[in-house]
């Protein structure tokens, strides 16, 4: 059982079995409604003619503006929708932040203090990590990947290298270049800036690379964690991906993202049967649209066999 220490007095325990049934019910309901509407639509068109277009690919209609799915072993493309569109990626950024931290070999058990530099003044997002709190670097990584904690991600980037935040961002862009992410640029480690942009195809490369890091796989798929923020208050952080908290997909790596300009985003490394499948969804319609899309792609992969 993983233990995280907020300060000399406070501890935190992961709660791997925690799940939010309400969100999963909403996702399942939305997915079922999508299936019904697609089936009804198909019936209206197949009564008069049975064209190859009607029964050929069965490619799902997705809520996301940009989507890309690929077999992680064979590189066979499964879904390709506006996959080369350069778009803001919001907190999907934090996967690159995690890789660059782990590449730095910085001591994950060192304590890092949250400072005023870590406070988001761009969008004024809320954080329960107050200035002056001290957390181990590994615990900041967990909160950044699991629940997309912005101050945690910023503190990681601010302290990982002697050159500070500027050096960290330079290394994020160098890492992207080394992975062949030719249409990707990072300007901050959280994704709060609209200038962090990429494509679905580039992000699939990033997910495949991130899968090689055991700690990224573990932290991004942790369902929930209890954090003692004061002697009298413990807060339960939950995974920002409702699919991780449920059992509809076998997820090996996950990250969500959202800012107004980026819409709702999601990247996954999943196993469909025994087939490793990377999924990327950008600028999805509605908060649950990206999750519905993931389930639709899963069914599409299953039906290919």
Catalytic residue set: 91, 94, 148
Residue 255: alpha-carbon gap to chain centroid: 1
**Spatial separation of the C-alpha atoms in residues 24 and 136, rounded to whole Å:** 32
For the CA atoms of 32, 37, 39, 43, the dihedral, rounded to the nearest 10 degrees, stands at: 160
Is 294 within 8 Å of 243 (Cβ atoms)? yes
Give the number of C-alpha atoms closer than 13 A to the C-alpha of residue 25, restricted to the C-beta side: 3
On the 0-12 / 13-18 / 19+ scale of CB atoms within 10 A, 282 is: buried
Is 296 within 8 Å of 60 (Cβ atoms)? yes
**What are the structure tokens assigned to 105, written together?**
């070999």
Dmax (CA) of the chain: 72
Please tell me whether residue 30 adopts helix, strand or coil conformation: helix
Q: Where are the alpha helices (DSSP H) in 109-163?
A: 137-147, 150-159
């Amino acid at each position: 059982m993983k233990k995280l220490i907020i300060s000399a007095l406070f501890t935190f325990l992961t709660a791997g079995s925690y799940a939010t049934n309400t969100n999963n019910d909403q996702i399942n309901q939305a997915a079922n409604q999508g299936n019904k509407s697609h089936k009804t639509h198909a019936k209206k068109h197949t009564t008069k003619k049975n064209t190859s277009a009607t029964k050929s690919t069965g490619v799902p209609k997705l809520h996301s503006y940009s989507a890309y799915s690929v077999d992680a072993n064979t590189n066979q493309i499964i879904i390709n929708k506006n996959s080369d569109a350069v778009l803001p990626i919001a907190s999907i950024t934090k996967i690159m932040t995690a890789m660059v931290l782990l590449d730095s070999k910085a001591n994950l058990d060192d304590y890092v203090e949250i400072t005023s530099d870590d406070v988001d003044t761009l969008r004024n997002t809320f954080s329960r990590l107050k200035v002056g709190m001290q957390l181990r670097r590994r615990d900041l990584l967990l909160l950044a990947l699991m629940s997309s904690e912005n101050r945690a991600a910023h503190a990681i980037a601010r302290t990982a290298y002697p050159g500070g935040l500027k050096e960290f961002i330079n290394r994020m862009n160098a890492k992207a270049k080394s992975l062949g992410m030719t249409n990707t640029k990072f300007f901050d480690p959280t994704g709060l800036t609209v200038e962090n942009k990429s494509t679905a195809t580039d992000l699939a490369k990033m997910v495949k690379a991130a899968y090689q890091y055991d700690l990224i796989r573990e932290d991004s798929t942790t369902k929930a964690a209890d954090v003692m923020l004061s002697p009298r208050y413990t807060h339960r952080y939950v995974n920002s991906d409702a699919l991780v908290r449920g059992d509809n997909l076998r997820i090996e790596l996950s990250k969500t993202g959202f800012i107004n300009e980026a819409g709702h985003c999601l990247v996954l490394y999943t196993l469909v049967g025994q087939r490793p499948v990377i999924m990327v969804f950008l600028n999805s319609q509605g908060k649950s649209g990206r999750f519905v899309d993931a389930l639709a792609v899963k069914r599409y992969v299953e039906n290919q066999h």
